[in-house]
Structure 1
Amino acid sequence: MSILNKLSARLLFALMLVADVVPASASAESYHVSIDTSTLAGREGYLDFLFLGLANAGPVQAKLSNFAGDFTSSSFAQGQVSGSLASQLTIGNGDAWNEFAQWTRLGGTLSFDVSFSRPAGSSSSSSSSSSVAGATLSVALLDAGLNYLGASGDIATFALLPAAVTTVSTDAAYATVSNISPVPEPATYVMLAAGLLLITGLIARRV
């Protein structure tokens, strides 16, 4: 193998190292949800999250954070729910019924971020024989009797299906959802820098 061919092969390997760390962060699914409850001023109710998956759905976690709103100390949870609004609330889809409801005073804006994480090797654009069904995270406003409050149904829904892009639907009178560009972890920056330095070093040695 000539020197040029060896250099090309090593440069290609270095580029693969760099490319391998960038898509990892780009594949994350993160959204910001804003809920306008001005039409419900003077009322109170639950901000409710229901995460359901069919029996053969792949495991998924919904991670909710950065909550803003006039929340009280009253809440209830059922199924695979952990964490808190103050830090991060995590809801899995493994049980038959996974729900978290937070009592809140309405009339202002409620907001939060949500991201979805899947096990290594699975994503919204790939499927496997053991994961042929989807999961759905529904967001709703409910009264004390757990009936829909204001809206006639869920105000936001995230449908996660194998081999498909996540489908987001909203009740435009109440909710808006926007994509959040994921921020790479510090370790990602380190790996990226190392890859770039490797490329620079290889070029310098052959100049």
Structure 2
Amino acid sequence: MFNVQKHLRHVVLALGLAAASLTAGATVLPTYKIDVANTATSDIAYIDFVFGSIDGAAPVTASLSHFTGIPLSELDRTGAVSGTSDGFIIGNAGAYNDLFLAVDGPFAFDLNFSEGFLGFASTFDSNSFFSIVLYDSLSNVIGDPNGALNFSLSKTGVVVTSTSSLLSLTPVAAVAVPEPADWVLMLTGLVFVVYMTRLNGRANARRLAAAQATVARAIA
């Protein structure tokens, strides 16, 4: 009986460690919440989203969503761009994919990257690049022409570089969701624990009944 209980404790401990590792080992990219300064006072009239990659890069998409503030007006798109002002998706296929918007007033949006590039073997460390470029009402670049906000994507994650105070970025951590196969493993282990517990309980009940019968015979 002692060995069974000891084994059950080991199984429960192992299941607990497995549950903790389901999310601990997974890399989940955050949602980047981006706020753009008041365009009336900063003279931001246009915002340009550029996404490109080098040869051999893993396919990645950048999703722009949850736009708040002044409605946007799309002026142009080039390459792997889809969607509307409710939400745009830009792919990294080739060297240049572009979405050009006219803006009027302060606004904000969310940026998410698909995660297929994480752990992807490539000749170069950083193989995809996403940039946000700002323009004034005369179509002049505001700040760095390479981007006021730049995201360099590599197999180990995303490196963000900001060159302008007109854009503020807040990463919001995502919660890792275990894969279905992980849940199956966990449930199988739990079923085993329940089965062994009940089996041990029946054995104890039989021992108790036998002891009671022995005492009854001795009294008689």
Tell me, yes or no, whether TM beats 0.5.
yes
Q: Deviations over 1:11-47 (max 9, x none)?
A: 52575356325655x6123211112135x53956221
Q: Deviations over 1:150-191 (max 9, x none)?
A: x2432211111223x421111342111111121566x88xx8
Contact 2:8 2:193 in 1 (8 A): no
User: More helix by proportion, 1 or 2?
Assistant: 2
1:82 and 2:100 aligned = no
Q: How many residues align?
A: 193
131 and 172 in structure 1: CA distance in 2 versus 1, 3 angstrom threshold: closer
Q: Which has the higher contact order (CA 8 A, sep 6+)?
A: 1
Residues 2-21 of structure 1: pairs in structure 2 closer than 5 A: 3=4, 4-5=6-7, 8-9=10-11, 12-13=14-15, 15-16=17-18, 19-20=21-22
User: Which residue does the alignment assign to 2:211?
Assistant: none
Larger Rg: 2
1:57 and 2:49 aligned = no
Calculate the aligned-residue CA RMSD, in Å: 3.7
Structure 1 unaligned segments of length 5 or more: list them: none
User: Which residue does the alignment assign to 1:173?
Assistant: 165
Q: Letter of the 2:111 partner, please give it.
A: V
Q: 3-state SS of the aligned residue for 1:134?
A: strand
1:112 and 2:105 aligned = no
Which consecutive aligned stretches of 4+ in structure 1 deviate over 6 angstroms post-superposition?
A: none
Structure 2 unaligned segments of length 5 or more: list them: 202-220
21 and 45 in structure 1: CA distance in 2 versus 1, 3 angstrom threshold: same
User: Which residue does the alignment assign to 1:142?
Assistant: 135
Q: What is the TM-score normalised by the length of structure 2?
A: 0.68
82 and 158 in structure 1: CA distance in 2 versus 1, 3 angstrom threshold: same
User: Which residue does the alignment assign to 2:46?
Assistant: 46
Percent identical pairs in the alignment equals 21
Contact 1:58 1:130 in 2 (8 A): no
User: Which residue does the alignment assign to 2:100?
Assistant: 101
Q: Letter of the 2:34 partner, please give it.
A: V
User: What is the CA–CA distance in structure 1 between the aligned matches of 2:53 and 2:153, rounded to whole Å?
Assistant: 9
User: What is the CA–CA distance in structure 1 between the aligned matches of 2:73 and 2:164, rounded to whole Å?
Assistant: 28
